[in-house]
Amino acid sequence: MYENPRLVLDSSNPPEPGSIVWRSPSNIAIVKYWGKYGLQLPRNPSLSLTLASSFTDTQLEYEFRDEAHSKSVDLDFFFHQETNEAFQAKTAAFLESLFPVFPFLKQLKLTIRTGNSFPHSAGIASSASGMSALALCLCSLEDSLFGTLQDPAEFDRKASFIARLGSGSACRSIFPHAAVWGRTQAVSGSSDEYAVPVGEQFHDVFRDLHDDILIVSSDEKAVSSRDGHALMDGNPFAEPRYAQARQRLSTLYDAMRSGDLDTFGKIAEDEALTLHALMMCSNPSYMLMRPDSVAIMEKVREYRAATGHPVYFTLDAGPNVHLLYPGNIIHEVRAFIEDALKKHCENGYVQEDWVGEGPEEM
């Protein structure tokens, strides 16, 4: 879609060394994406909230080296100021897969320095924030060198497309407040290739939503999201699930436009449990929830029944529980977390987050 062999640097007039820094947030899907086809394309559409305090900072440093016919990228990679061979290999392979889109990467020496504000690989979508931050750096680099992405909407669309190639959910982190990824009749302009922003269409209550993430475990997941997606290919419930997700997204979209918190919360919880049920129905089956995850969810439902407060849970592909609620009850909910839920968290750790304004160039 974005291949451009003309994006090659002139060796007679090379660019000066430089650096680009982007901060990009994670996101939490309310209607989940689980199952894919082709090159990182979704089997069903998804809708997510863009977070604020769970983010990745990525610095991309570059200097000219003029090896235009190289088949490999010249990369140094640092994660939290330390070398990481696994992350370096994954990032190098990703960058080399992008040579048809960014052929000038062959001509540059690159150094990437990146880090998260939250635990990696624990089910807070670190790949979403990490890959979206890198995609934004690459698009900024292209625009800096060639001036080809001056239109903000086209810049965001390409960044979302590139982010998707690295991690499907990353394409949604490009946009503020909320995004939809995957073709759906409910959202005009929606696409499997990139996400589209929808936050401005929603009721104000959803731009004032908090997401306190209860860290049941910061351990790396036993089954990666990549492997979990692949297991959907043999899951006997896959096709009914994809139909269910399409219907739920349409219902959720209408509810968020009207400010219907009850419908939003019901879908959020049902989707979380459906996601983990699909894992348990895979072959081989596996389970990412922990006993403390279940205890938290039960207490949230008991608290909501007792108080009437619109407090809901969801989970991503991991054991940690996201607690969603509007800002006008923050003091009551934070007291509930302190009194009843922190005991179920690893070292009492809660990542306090909220719906955010999207990525920021630093």
Q: What is the pLDDT of residue 223?
A: 87
Residue 306, token pair as written in the block: 């007792």
Residue limits of CATH 3.30.70.890 in the chain: 204-360
Q: Between β-strands 321-326 and 209-214, what pairing exists: parallel, antiparallel or unpaired?
A: antiparallel
Contacts of 151 (CB under 8 A, 6+ apart): none
Per DSSP, the residues of 229-285 read HHHGGG-TTHHHHHHHHHHHHHHHHHHHHHT-HHHHHHHHHHHHHHHHHHHHTSSS-
Question: What is the domain class of 18-200 according to CATH?
Answer: alpha beta
Q: What is the pLDDT of residue 221?
A: 80
Q: What is the pLDDT of residue 121?
A: 54
Q: What is the pLDDT of residue 123?
A: 54
Residue limits of CATH 3.30.230.10 in the chain: 18-200
Q: What is the pLDDT of residue 145?
A: 97
For the chain, which residues score pLDDT lower than 50?
A: none
CA distance linking residue 195 with residue 183, whole number of Å: 9
What type of residue is 100?
A: P
Domain 204-360 CATH (choose: 3.40.50.360, 3.40.1710.10, 3.40.50.10440, 3.30.70.890): 3.30.70.890
Q: What is the pLDDT of residues 292-342, one digit of tens each?
A: 999 999 999 999 999 999 999 999 999 999 999 999 999 999 999 999 999
Tokens 């670190």 sit on residue: 126
Q: What is the pLDDT of residue 143?
A: 98
pTM over 0.85: yes
